[in-house]
Structure 1
């Protein structure tokens, strides 16, 4: 059989290399600002600059409202505005109501505090700090009402938890303002009912909140007299200290030591002064029995050691 001529066949390529693809070059388009000579700030920097422009008014520099009876009617709506700058202005109005027109604010105080809980969760630091300052003025003006009025109590609990959370966060100026507000709560409110509120957060899952709770409880107990401490109960108080003494954070453990010393001072108060050495031995012996009867062996030994070291 005759073979066909290959003269008309296509020539084979001389190399086996495949043609290279051209790389696509993408040139990003940038929106021009109104002023072509101005470099636009990143969005985060713009927000930070806006936050920095907020004027934080101290309580001493706030003035009373000229028309509080009219202003109170629109206050809730203004606080629920979507414009956060307007909300900041309205929060300052809440502060003025708390300081100068508290009788008008009281009927809606529960709703106001729930709005504060919401604004405290806002990521804008300026709004958050203004909310904390508002809480501070509310604590100063209404103090015992927040603890005794059952229609407000739940709102206060939610607000207290948010303040503890803000006091444990990393933003320094927010954290410091929240710490200041917690201290104002301790100073302006009766320590015994406040301690009952705080004790519920001793076992909170967030260890940084537990540390802030421990410090606040320690400050609260340091305000209490012997009778108030005994009314709360020395046994539950020493058990509370034992829980905090085993916490992971040093601040909680240091606060626990302070609580232990307060409990010991109350435990030994009112005893007749006799021979100093003999009386000290009796106190140490009775303290040891008290700790061992209310705590585990390890925790009791820790309490005894804390007191013993404080006397060296």
Structure 2
């Protein structure tokens, strides 16, 4: 006999749907496929190749320099930055051992130095700064001639910028180059070049410029100070004395002390003479600061 289904049997539980599994799919961006994305931040520069930083003492004279000078500009303008570094080191050799051959293309070399210092590669920047030092030693005041003066102005600004940045080994090399620049040039025209930068919007640049000016002033006598303008010099020092950075203020104090020594060298009443000079040419509060600097020595 067939069995009848029970009317009150429990209904069969329906099968639950299977849980969906999420699969991660890597989607390659268009920018990764070589399509430019203007809104994407630029990638950092690739890691620098190994570059040897050769000290000036270890640079050798070039064999057959008359022939090699013709290829120097081409090498400096290369799109291969390692080739530019190599050419910069050759430019250093020309400056140290064959400077007459470099003189006709000196302006072009200076502009290459400026361009190299704007490059994001630290190795290229440092090599260019080292080349600047050797060129300062080799040519000195010749860099202020009409043919190279504008290029020198651009180079000076770049050195002040690089001396003001946070990358230590670049900053130290730029500081060294600025010191060599001051040591190789007549102080008066260099102070005139540097004067504009003590009013720069960047406080670090103001400080570096003030330090270089103080080094120049330390080499000046009364004749040079008079030619620049004693009043202009003391007013500049008074302005820098109120700067934000202590390095700038210390440089201003050095300028004041040197001016005091030069101006009062033949005076019997030295402090009284200095006080009279400051009070005649400065606002009272600035004149008082100048007198305090001398009194505190």
TM-score grouping bracket, smaller chain normalisation: 0.7 to 0.9
Task: State which of 177, 198, 208 in structure 2 corresponds to 1:202.
Answer: 198
Task: State which of 82, 85, 97 in structure 2 corresponds to 1:85.
Answer: 82
State the match for 2:124 in structure 1. Answer: 127
What is the Cα deviation at residue 283 of structure 1?
2.5
**Superposition TM-score, scaled by structure 1 size:** 0.81
Q: Give the 3-state SS of the residue equivalent to 2:116 in structure 1.
A: helix
Number of residue-to-residue matches in the alignment: 268
Task: State which of 224, 228, 235 in structure 1 corresponds to 2:220.
Answer: 224
State the match for 2:24 in structure 1. Answer: 25
State the match for 1:175 in structure 2. Answer: 171
What is the Cα deviation at residue 65 of structure 1?
1.2
**Superposition TM-score, scaled by structure 2 size:** 0.85
Deviations, residues 7-53 of structure 1 (Å, cap 9, x unaligned): xxxxxxxxxxxx99754523589xxxxxxxxxxxxx969614x2xx2
Task: State which of 92, 96, 99 in structure 2 corresponds to 1:99.
Answer: 96
Give yes or no for contact 1:164–1:213 (8 Å, CA) kept in 2. Answer: yes
For 1:53-68, list aligned pairs within 5 A. 53-68=50-65
Task: Mark the CA change 1:94 to 1:210 in structure 2 (over 3 Å): closer, same or farther.
Answer: same
Task: State which of 272, 277, 286 in structure 2 corresponds to 1:285.
Answer: 272
Aligned counterparts of 1:193 and 1:94: Cα–Cα separation in 2: 25
State the match for 1:137 in structure 2. Answer: 134
Aligned counterparts of 2:83 and 2:45: Cα–Cα separation in 1: 21
Deviations, residues 66-108 of structure 1 (Å, cap 9, x unaligned): 1222211121111111110000000001001111111111011
State the match for 1:35 in structure 2. Answer: none
Aligned counterparts of 1:197 and 1:62: Cα–Cα separation in 2: 30
Give yes or no for contact 1:226–1:269 (8 Å, CA) kept in 2. Answer: no
Q: Which runs of 5+ in 2 are unaligned?
A: 1-17, 29-42
Q: Does structure 1 residue 306 correspond to structure 2 residue 276? A: no
State the match for 1:9 in structure 2. Answer: none
State the match for 1:193 in structure 2. Answer: 189
Aligned counterparts of 1:45 and 1:243: Cα–Cα separation in 2: 40
Task: State which of 240, 261, 267 in structure 1 corresponds to 2:257.
Answer: 261
Give yes or no for contact 2:45–2:121 (8 Å, CA) kept in 1. Answer: no
Q: Which runs of 5+ in 1 are unaligned?
A: 1-18, 30-42, 272-278
Task: Mark the CA change 1:186 to 1:157 in structure 2 (over 3 Å): closer, same or farther.
Answer: same
Task: State which of 227, 233, 241 in structure 2 corresponds to 1:245.
Answer: 241
Aligned counterparts of 1:308 and 1:210: Cα–Cα separation in 2: 26
Q: Give the 3-state SS of the residue equivalent to 1:137 in structure 2.
A: helix
Q: CA RMSD in A?
A: 2.2
Give yes or no for contact 2:136–2:181 (8 Å, CA) kept in 1. Answer: yes
For 1:33-44, list aligned pairs within 5 A. none
Q: Give the 3-state SS of the residue equivalent to 1:223 in structure 2.
A: coil
